[in-house]
Amino acid sequence: MKNEEMIWEFLYEKIKNPFGVAALMGNLFAESSLNPTLANGIKKYGLTSEEYTRLVDEEKKDNFAIDGIAYGLAQWCYYTRKQGLLEKAKMYNKSIGDLQIQLEYLVEELKKYTTVYKTLLNATSIREASDIILQKYEKPANQSDSVKEKRASYGQMYFQKYNAQQKVSLQKKTAKTIFTALQKLST
């Protein structure tokens, strides 16, 4: 299963709103191309993202939380947010680049951003959810209308791809449940 499928399924299980999930994925794609080991700003260290991840995991890289490197799916950069990711990974003896750890941390963190999280749960459009993620969670320097449109378009792409699959899967589960119930009634 590809990262994007795993991300969609995990986030949909937690958020249960295809508009919110698609908007979040669109923003994560804009930040990291859905690459949990992406490290931006490491050229000054002469490292690849994989080398950086390994050094942090092996505790050979000091000051992960305050090194100014944006890391992971959400490109965490602020020191308390990076420290939280590091602690989550250590708690489960996993890599900071572990997709599952990052997804769990992402949802935990989003719940602290109550306006953002409520919007993800209740959004009626991708643009509504995407804009709030951009402005109140990701907070990049450039929050122009063109950036908002681009991120929402990424979200729309995921919505079209995975919401249709979600509906088909739900229809199959419903049909199977009905069929099983009818079989029980006929016996």
Q: What is the CATH number for 71?
A: 1.10.530.10
List the structure tokens of 5. 């499928």
Q: Could you give the number of structural domains in the chain?
A: 1
Report how far residue 121's alpha carbon sits from residue 141's, in angstroms, rounded to the nearest whole number. 26
Q: Which domain holds residue 26?
A: 3-186
- Determine whether 115 is exposed, middle or buried from the number of CB atoms within 10 Å of its CB (0-12, 13-18, 19+): exposed
pLDDT range class, residue 45, cuts 50, 70, 90: confident
Q: pTM for the full model?
A: 0.86
Q: Which residues contact 20 (CB under 8 A, 6 or more apart)?
A: 119, 120, 121, 122, 123, 129
For residue 176, pLDDT over 70 is answered with no
Residue 59 is which amino acid? E
- Determine whether 147 is exposed, middle or buried from the number of CB atoms within 10 Å of its CB (0-12, 13-18, 19+): middle
List the structure tokens of 83. 């420290």
pLDDT range class, residue 178, cuts 50, 70, 90: low
What does the pLDDT read at residue 16? Answer: 96
DSSP code of residue 71 = E
For residue 167, pLDDT over 90 is answered with no
Per-residue pLDDT averaged across 145-162, rounded?
97
Q: Can you tell me which residue has the tokens 């990424």?
A: 154
82-93 pLDDT tens trace: 999 999 999 999
Question: Distance from first CA to last CA of the chain, Å, rounded?
Answer: 39
